[in-house]
C-alpha cells in the first residue's frame, strides 16, 4: 500500500532560541519555527498526523502562535477533495499543545496516542496546558496505543520516547520508500546529528536516530523551516 503525504503548515512559533534544539547555538540565534500537520491519503483512507496548534487556544495558556490553523487545515484537505469530516484517524506523535490543539476540528476521527503519553499528560506538565480537558471531551474517540503499532497497511508507529515518555514517530510507505514523520524526537534537520535539551532522554533519542539512519527512512523533522521547499509541502 502506498500513501501520498502533504505537509501543511498550520502555524508558526516565533522567536524560539535555536539553542533549545541545537546544543551550543548562540543565545541570540532565534528561530521562527513552523508547526506542521501531515495529511496522508492512500486513496481509501484519509489520516492526519498531528493537528498543530490553534492561536486562540495557545494564547489562553500564554503561548504565541502566528497563523490561522483551521483555515490552513481546511485548504490542505480541500486539495485532496476532502473535508475534516472525512478524516478517520489522527495520529499523535505526542500531545504538546503545538501538535494537537486542532483535534476538535475533526468530528469523526479517532485519535491514536501512546498509553504512556496519556499517563504523562495527566501529570499536567508544561506544554500540555488545556490538553487533558480537550482529551476528556474527545475521550470516546481516543485510542490508546501500546508500543509499536500497525495502524493501516503501510502505516505504522514506532514508540520511541526521547522528547516525551510517550512520544512516537510515524512510518509511512510511499512510492519513494519509507518516510518517517519524526515528531519532536527530530525537530530540525540538525537534530539528526546533534541532540538538544528538547529531548531530555538523549539515550532513547540517539538509539532511535541510529536505527532510522540505518534503515534509510526519509526523515521528516517536525519543525524544520527548510521543509517549505520539500516536494510534499502544500503551498499555503
Ligand atoms: Zn513541537
Centre of ligand 1 to C-alpha 96, Å, is: 7
Q: Residue 165: name the closest of 150, 179, 184 by CA.
A: 184
Centre of ligand 1 to C-alpha 222, Å, is: 7
Centre of ligand 1 to C-alpha 52, Å, is: 8
Centre of ligand 1 to C-alpha 94, Å, is: 9
Residue 58 in 3-state DSSP? helix
Contacts of 142 (CB under 8 A, 6+ apart): 110, 111, 113, 118, 135
Residues of the chain with pLDDT under 70: 124
Domain boundaries, the chain: 4-229
* Torsion of Cα atoms, 168 then 165 then 137 then 33, to 10°: -60
Per-residue pLDDT, 122: 85
Centre of ligand 1 to C-alpha 13, Å, is: 9
| Residue pLDDT, tens place only, 108-138 | 999 999 999 999 998 868 899 999 999 999 9
Centre of ligand 1 to C-alpha 212, Å, is: 20
Per-residue pLDDT, 91: 98
Question: Residue 113 in contact with residue 92, Cβ under 8 Å?
Answer: yes
Per-residue pLDDT, 124: 67
Centre of ligand 1 to C-alpha 150, Å, is: 23
CATH number belonging to domain 4-229: 3.60.15.10
Centre of ligand 1 to C-alpha 181, Å, is: 12
Centre of ligand 1 to C-alpha 99, Å, is: 6
Grid cell listed for 231:
516536494
Amino acid at each position: 500500500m502506498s500513501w501520498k503525504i502533504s505537509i501543511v503548515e498550520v502555524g508558526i512559533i516565533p522567536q524560539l532560541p535555536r539553542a533549545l534544539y541545537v546544543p551550543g547555538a548562540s543565545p541570540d540565534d532565534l528561530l521562527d519555527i513552523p508547526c506542521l500537520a501531515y495529511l496522508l491519503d492512500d486513496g481509501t483512507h484519509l489520516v492526519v498526523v498531528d493537528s498543530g496548534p490553534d492561536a486562540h487556544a495557545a494564547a489562553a495558556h500564554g503561548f504565541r502562535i502566528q497563523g490561522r490553523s483551521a483555515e490552513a487545515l481546511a485548504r490542505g484537505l480541500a486539495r485532496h477533495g476532502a473535508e475534516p469530516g472525512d478524516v478517520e484517524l489522527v495520529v499523535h506523535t505526542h500531545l504538546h499543545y503545538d501538535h494537537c490543539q486542532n483535534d476538535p476540528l475533526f468530528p469523526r476521527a479517532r485519535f491514536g496516542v501512546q498509553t504512556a503519553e496519556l499517563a504523562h499528560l495527566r501529570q499536567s506538565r508544561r506544554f500540555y496546558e488545556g490538553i487533558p480537558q480537550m482529551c476528556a471531551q474527545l475521550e470516546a474517540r481516543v485510542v490508546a496505543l501500546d508500543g509499536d503499532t500497525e495502524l493501516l497497511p503501510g502505516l505504522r508507529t514506532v514508540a520511541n520516547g526521547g522528547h516525551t515518555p510517550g512520544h512516537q514517530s510515524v512510518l509511512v510507505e510511499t512510492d519513494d520508500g519509507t518516510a518517517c514523520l519524526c515528531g519532536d524526537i527530530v525537530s530540525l534537520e540538525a537534530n539528526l546529528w546533534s541532540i538538544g535539551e528538547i529531548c531530555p532522554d538523549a539515550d532513547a533519542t540517539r538509539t532511535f536516530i541510529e536505527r532510522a539512519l540505518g534503515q534509510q527512512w526519509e526523515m521528516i523533522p517536525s519543525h524544520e523551516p527548510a521543509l517549505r521547499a520539500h516536494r510534499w509541502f502544500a503551498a499555503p
